[in-house]
């Protein structure tokens, strides 16, 4: 069974700082790698999806990379803002459409 780990579990940074969130997975037979954001009491919002054949994907201040061989993905957030405060989760679905989520990184950006 796929195991997805996210480190750190919590992160607190001052506004304006660039930061990196990490996601690792044990089975490299993934279909894609997805990053989500979850605000307290809300559902998940999709941020980025990297196909298994891709190396990275960018959206605004967010950049996600994927290294299947090492079982790692990173989410880079540039010039962090207080509005970025949320829990960030990664998911690694396999070709059988089984979704495995990490436990998330809780991010706090201090004004």
Listed ranges 9-17, 62-70, 74-82, 93-101: which one lies at the site for another protein (CB under 8 A):
93-101
93 binds another protein, rule: CB under 8 A: yes
The contact pattern for another protein, residues 36-75, with x = CB under 8 A and - = no contact, is: x-----xxxxx--x--------------------------
34 binds another protein, rule: CB under 8 A: yes
Query: For the stretch 31-58, what's the b/e string if a residue is b when 16 or more beta carbons lie within 10 angstroms of its beta carbon?
Result: ebbbbbbeeeeeebeebbbbebeeeebe
d(CA 67, CA 57): 12
22 binds another protein, rule: CB under 8 A: no
Q: Write down the residue that tokens 């070709």 correspond to.
A: 95
**C-beta of 4 vs 80, nearer to another protein:** 4
């Amino acid at each position: 069974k796929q195991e997805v780990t996210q480190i750190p579990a919590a992160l607190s940074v001052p506004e304006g700082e660039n930061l990196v969130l990490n996601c690792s997975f044990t089975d490299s037979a993934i279909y894609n790698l997805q990053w989500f954001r979850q605000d307290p009491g809300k559902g998940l919002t999709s941020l980025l999806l990297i196909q298994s054949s891709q190396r990275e994907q960018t959206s605004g201040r967010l950049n996600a990379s994927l290294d299947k061989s090492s079982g790692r993905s990173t989410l880079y957030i540039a010039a962090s803002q207080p509005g970025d405060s949320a829990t960030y989760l990664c998911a690694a679905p396999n070709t059988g459409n089984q979704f495995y989520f990490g436990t998330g990184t809780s991010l706090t950006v201090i004004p």
